[in-house]
Amino acid sequence: MVLTLGKLAEQVGGELQKGDPDCEITAVATLQNAGTGDISFLSNPGYKKYLYKTQASAVILSPENSADCPTAVIASSNPYVSYARAAALIVPAPSLKQGVHPGAAIEDDCEVDASAWIGPGCIIERGVVIDAGVQLDGGCFVGAGSVIGAHSHLHANVVVCHDVSIGMRVNIYPGAVIGGDGFGLANDDGKWVNVPQLGSVVVGDDVEIGSNTTIDRGALEDTVLEEGVRLDNQIQVAHNVHIGAHTAIAGCTGISGSATIGKYCMIGGGVGIVGHLEIADHVVVTGMSLVARSITEPGVYSSGVPAQDNVSWNRNYARLRQLDKLARRVQSLERRLAGGKKQENG
C-alpha cells in the first residue's frame, strides 16, 4: 500500500519533524538496506551507526535522535510501536477467506459462522462453535465442544482439544497444541497411574501463542491465559497454570503445574518455573533463570550464569566446588573469634 508521509505520521502517533508530507512511502526496510520509498526506524541504540548513511525516505525515531538523521523524520516517544503500526498499514495482512474447503470435515451439531474459513484437511468435531471471521488454515483439528472466538486465526496444523475456550482475536501459530492432557501421575507401588485431567483451557481475548507451544488442560480446574498474553515458540504450559493479562514469555520456557504468573510480566527464553509458586505482577525474569520460589515483589530477577571463556569458567567452577568448605572454615573462624572476645571481656 502507498501512503504519504504526512498521513503515515498521523496514523502511527508520531510527528513529522522534517521532510515532505506528500512523499510516498511504499515499503519498510532496515536502516542499512532501505532505499527510496522505504521507511525505517531506530529503536535500539546499537543500530544508530547505520542512521547516518541511511538511504531511507524517512525514519521513525525518538526526538533526541532527530538531528542525526539525514532524511525525513517521524518523531515518536515509542519508535518501535510506531514502526509496528506503520508496517501493518503499509504491508496489510492477506484478505480473509470465507467458507468451507471441500477437503474439510465438519461433524454434526457444529455452529460455523458463514464469514469463517475452514481450510483443507481441517477436522471439526461435534458441538464446536466457530464465530465470525475465524480463519482455520489447513490441517487444523478442533475437538468436540470447543469454542473459537470471533476473528481468531489458527494457523496450519494447530490442535485444539475438546471443550477448550479460545477468545476473540487470538492468533495461534503452526503446530501448537491447546488442551492436551496434563502430566498427572500417581505412584502405586512403583507403577504409574494416570490421573484423569478433567479441567480445560481458557484463552482470553487478543492472545498470541507461538509455534509448537503446548498448553495442557487442568486436572480439575482450568488452565488460564488472560487477555493479551504473548507466548513465543516451544513453550510448555503445564496443567492449572494461570498467566495474568499482558504477560509475555519467550521461547523454550517451561512452566510447571499450578504456577501462577502475574500481569504485565516478562519472562525470558529458556526459563524454568517450578510448580505451585506465585510470581507477582510486573516481574521480569531474565533468560535461562530458574524460578524455584515465589516472587512477591515487582522487579528484575536472574539466576542464569552468562557465558564466558572456557578457561575462566573451569577456574571459577573449581572454586565454586570449594565454596562449602570455605564457608565452613569461615564459620569456624568466626566462632573462635567470638569465643576469644568473650574471654577477653570476661
User: Annotated active-site positions, please?
Assistant: 239
The CA distance from 202 to 243, in Å, is 11
Output phi, psi for 229, to 5 deg. Answer: -65, 145
The CA distance from 285 to 228, in Å, is 19
* Residue 260, helix vs strand vs coil: strand
Nearest to 303 by CA among 313, 318, 288: 288
Contact status, residue 38 vs residue 103, Cβ threshold 8 Å: no
Contact status, residue 246 vs residue 261, Cβ threshold 8 Å: no
Strands 171-172, 191-194: parallel, antiparallel or unpaired by DSSP? unpaired
End-to-end CA gap in the chain: 89
